[in-house]
Amino acid sequence: MNNPIKILIVDDVPANLIAIEAVLHEVEATLLLVESGEKALEVLMSENECPALIILDVHMPAMDGFELASIIRQRYKHVPIIFLSAVATDINHVHKGYETGAVDFITKPFNSMVLCAKVRVFLELHRYRLQSLQLQEIEKLAFYDPLTKLPNRRLFVDRLNQSMARIDRNAGMLAVLLIDLDGFKLINDVYGHEIGDQFLILISQKIKCSVRETDTVARLGGDEFIVLLEGIEGQECAQYPIHNILKSCSESITINNLTLKLSASIGASSFVKNLDIDASQIIRQADQSMYIAKKSGKNQFHWFDERYDNLANGENEMIAQIISGIDRNEFLMYYQPIVNMKSGELLAVEALIRWQHPIKGLLQPAAFLPFINMHPVNIELGKWVIRKVLEQLYRWQLSGLSIKAHINVDAIHISQSDFLDNLKHSLSLYPQLEKGKVEIEILETTAISNLKYTNKIINQCQSLGISVAIDDFGTGYSSLTYLKNLSFNTIKIDRSFVSDMTNNTRDLAIVESVIILARAFNKDIVAEGVRTIEQGKLLLQLGCEVGQGFLIAKPMPAENIEKWSLEWSPFDEWLGAPCMA
């Protein structure tokens, strides 16, 4: 509801106040009547908004109208003041009044029609001013980001269209730089959104100072900013501001005694005369290039190249399909048995995702997971997998099948600050699930990329009753140091070594060494990719009893596992194979 328009009327003679009130009774305004300058100041201090008009007697005891007007002007610079004076014809008197802030004089005794007409004029001006201010606020909301005060996407696109039109009329070149902060989500997660917002305000100022005053810096939303560089002669002219932005974004920022530091990835696209493209396409090209810069290692930039980047465009389309597939419940879990090759006991299953694509049919992970490597949708898919596997484990438990499930966790998922919280929440949905039935698998390359963090995650998982396996062991930089320092439970020998161990002495030596290391560090061991009876027999001879692979069983739907476990038995050659003590 709008606040009512108010008129402050100050006169030390009560009769004058009554007379003015009678004249203005039809004016659409609230009249505030006071008898002294002191009371007028009290009223002004108590009001949330300044009045639309002040009618002020000049001659008053203690504080006259001139003195009161001077004080009012210090706080309210724009409110109109009409002086009432018996000597309004005295030029010196009038001059002093205007110097102290008057906009008009009315002579006492006043003419009722003149007073009423002038009041109406000033009230109309006040309404017009309010409308102008409202329009300015609306414009700010429509065209400016409320947090950083930078132009928003709408205003940026408008300026980009204008710049493109100028180039088409004349000549020249423009560049669009799309900036995404690397790892900003972590600031919000660790320190809260208030610190995150302050960081965005400060980083936006740094970006703005990195380019010319004539360039446009806008915020698209979240931690994405976009820059329009006008009047450049070629891509080389954009290199300087790009490097300036990268440098500025990687500088430390201190907020409330916290020192925070990130980097940025920048995608760049350009426009020249007669190029058949619109503003939205230029922005999409810059966004596509930014994504390539981020995948290339972050803290760098990439110029859009149509021949090369069309491949990336295909990736973006696949990502969009994957997101839609999650929403439409097109993904499902298959399970590959992990057995004791000597006793035939079903020990566990590895959970493996599949995509029931509406057009392409059932897709293997290799057909879609590479497209979301290090992409946020990978995290959402990973959360879905964990929930789905826990649900299935509980179903098996109710049916009397007590086995463990191995769940692969991607690097981008495990690196999230809320990984453990999400894992705890998923476990809380199945409080009756037996402990020790979940084992997460981390790639060796992920584990050694940050040993301290990985060990923290491993210990926290183990405190929840979840064991941890190092997957694809031997493909990274296996060393005694990280075997000693990481408290994981299981080593999984990569299938590439198992598949050639019967023909390649080098691979055989690697497998044998891994098994010896596992025994030395008291780790469980699983051999992946067992495809022949001979491979299984050799693994048993080397001291590895647990294996998985197509020879044992291919991945299958959950409903097939129980029947398979009842029918499968180890090969005769494995039963009699000597096993290293």
pLDDT one-digit tens code per residue, 8-35: 889 888 888 888 888 888 888 888 898 8
Q: What is the mean pLDDT of residues 25-52?
A: 83
* 497 contact partners, CB below 8 Å, separation of at least 6: 474, 507, 510, 511, 514
Among 416, 423, 428, 452, smallest CA distance to 440 is for 423
CA distance 101 to 73: 7
pLDDT one-digit tens code per residue, 78-126: 788 888 887 656 677 777 777 787 788 887 888 888 888 888 888 888 8
CA distance 528 to 156: 54
Q: What is the mean pLDDT of residues 412-433?
A: 88
SS3 content of the chain, % helix, strand, coil (to 5): 50, 20, 30
Q: Give the containing element (helix H, strand E) for 283.
A: helix 279-295
Distances in Å between the Cα of 560 and the Cα atoms of 258, 549, 566, 567 are 54, 16, 10, 11
DSSP 8-state symbol, 488: -
Query: If pLDDT is split at 50, 70 and 90, which confidence band does 470 have?
Result: confident
Please tell me whether residue 263 adopts helix, strand or coil conformation: strand
pLDDT one-digit tens code per residue, 143-187: 888 899 999 988 999 999 999 999 999 888 999 999 999 989 889
CA distance 178 to 202: 18
Average pLDDT, the chain: 86
Instruction: Tell whether the model's pLDDT for residue 51 goes beyond 90.
Output: no
pLDDT one-digit tens code per residue, 478-525: 456 667 778 889 999 988 889 889 988 888 998 998 898 888 888 999
* 493 contact partners, CB below 8 Å, separation of at least 6: 473, 474, 511, 514, 515, 525, 526, 527, 528, 544
Parallel, antiparallel, or unpaired for β 466-473 and 438-443?
A: parallel
CA distance 320 to 314: 10
Parallel, antiparallel, or unpaired for β 81-85 and 104-107?
A: parallel
Per DSSP, the residues of 196-217 read: HHHHHHHHHHHHHHTS-TTSEE
Q: Give the containing element (helix H, strand E) for 551.
A: none
- The pLDDT score that the predictor gives to residue 416 is 80
pLDDT one-digit tens code per residue, 341-371: 999 999 999 999 999 999 889 999 988 888 7
Residue 170 is encoded by which pair of tokens?
């004349």
CA-based angle 21:26:32, to the nearest 5?
Answer: 40
Domains and CATH numbers, the chain: 6-143 (3.40.50.2300), 153-304 (3.30.70.270), 322-575 (3.20.20.450)
Instruction: Tell whether the model's pLDDT for residue 315 goes beyond 80.
Output: no
Which runs of E-coded beta strand occur in 383-482? Answer: 404-408, 438-443, 466-473
- The pLDDT score that the predictor gives to residue 379 is 87
Judged by phi (left if over 0) then psi (alpha if -120 to 50, else beta), residue 232 lies in beta
